[in-house]
A and B are shown apart, each in its own frame.
Chain A
Amino acid sequence: MTGHTYLLAIFLMAAVTYLPRVLPVLLLSNKKLPRPFSRWLSYIPVAVLAALLAPALIAPEGQPDFSLTDNPGLWVALPVFVIARMTRSLFATVLSGMAAVAIWRLIT
C-alpha cells in the first residue's frame, strides 16, 4: 500500500470501529428503554464474557487443546475460577493466574 492508501485505510478502520462503539450510547443513553430490551441488555456482560473466554481457554490456537502441557491456560483456569470466587479480587485472581502459568512453564 502507498502512503496515501495507508491514511485512507486507517481512517476507514477507525471509523467503522468507532461507529458501533458510540452510536448506542448517543442514541440510547437518555432514553427510557422498554423493559424487555433492558432485561435482555442486563445479561449482555455475563454472556459476552463467557463467549469471549470459552474459545480463548479451550482452543487458543484454533483447535480444541485439552493437553496440560500445550494448553496450561485451560487447566489453570479451574483454580483461578475458585480463587476468583473466594477472593472476589481482580488483582488476586490475575496475579495468581499469571503466577500459576509461569510456574507451570518453569517446571515443565
Chain B
Amino acid sequence: MADCRKIGFNGKNGEAVKRGVSLAMPIVVGYLPIGFAFGVLAAAAGLSVSAAAAMSIFVYAGSAQLIAVGIIESGAGPQVLAVTVFLVNLRHLLMSSYLAPYLGVLRRWQQAIFCFQLTDESFAVHSTVFRENGTAGPPASLFALNGAAHLSWITGSLAGAWAGSRLLVDTRLFGLDYALPAMFIALLVMQADNRRRIMIALLAAGLSITLYLSGAIWWHIIIATVVAAAVGALTENEEETEGADKL
C-alpha cells in the first residue's frame, strides 16, 4: 500500500543535493554541447539570444527545440510549431505515467515543478533510481538533479546563441556526443535485469528501428514502447518477485 506520509525537507538535504547533482553529471556533460549546438542553430535561423534562451527555459525539450528551429526557418507559423512539438514530446506522457505512483509523496507544487523538468534523460535516471530504491527519495535530490540538468541546457543554449557562427564547436570533441547514448546504455542495462526484460528491450528496439526506417518518426518511440510494454505485461506470469530468471 502506498505510504502517504509526505517526505519533507530535513537535515539530510546536503547529502541529497550532492547525490542529485552527482546523478545529473552525465546529463550535464551531454546537455552542454547539445544545448550549444541548439543555440548556434537558433542564431543561424535568425532567433535572438533571448528567444533561444526562452525556448530552453520554458520548453526545455532538446529534440523538439532542434526541430522547431528548422520549422521556424522554413517560415511556418506557430500552429505548425505547436502541433509538431506536441507530437515530438508526446512520449513524455508515458514516462510521466510511470513516475506518477512514485511522486505521490510530493506536494502538488513540487509535482508541478518536477514534471516541468521531465526529459528523456532525467526520466532515464529517475525511473532507474526509483525502481532500485522503491521510492522517489528526498525532494531535494530530485530538484538538484533536474535543476542541474536544466541549468546546463540553458547555459549551453545561451553560449551557443551568443557565440552564433562566430565559434564552431565540434560536439564530437572528446566523444561528447556519446555521453547521452552511453548513459542510456548504462541505464538500459540496469533496467533489463532478467531474461524477459532483455527480450522486451530487444523487441522494443526492433520495433523502434523498423518503424523509424519506415518513416513513422516520433511515433516509432511511442508505438514501440506501448507494444513492447504490453507484451511484457501480458507474458508476465505469477512472478510477483522480480527474482525470477535473474541473470
A residues touching B (Cβ–Cβ < 8 Å)? 1, 5-6, 8-18, 20-30, 32-33, 36, 38-59, 63-64, 73, 76-77, 80-81, 84-85, 88-91, 93-94, 96-102, 105
Contact A52-B120, Cβ < 8 Å, known A98-B176, A98-B179: yes
- In whole angstroms, what is the CA distance A36 to B225 when docked? 16
- A43–B232 touching, CB < 8 Å: yes
Contact A24-B97, Cβ < 8 Å, known A12-B81, A45-B131: yes
Max chain B C-beta neighbours (<10 A), residue from A40, A52, A90:
A52
Interface residue range, chain B:
35 or more
- B186–A93 touching, CB < 8 Å: yes
What total count of A-B pairs have CB within 8 Å? 279
- B59–A48 touching, CB < 8 Å: no
A-B contact pairs, 23 of them (CB 8 A): A1-B78, A5-B78, A27-B100, A28-B97, A33-B101, A36-B233, A40-B229, A43-B229, A45-B191, A46-B192, A47-B228, A48-B94, A48-B123, A50-B200, A56-B181, A59-B213, A81-B189, A88-B190, A90-B186, A93-B183, A97-B178, A97-B182, A98-B29
- In whole angstroms, what is the CA distance A11 to B106 when docked? 26
- In whole angstroms, what is the CA distance A41 to B226 when docked? 9
- In whole angstroms, what is the CA distance A9 to B188 when docked? 35
Max chain B C-beta neighbours (<10 A), residue from A25, A41, A42:
A25
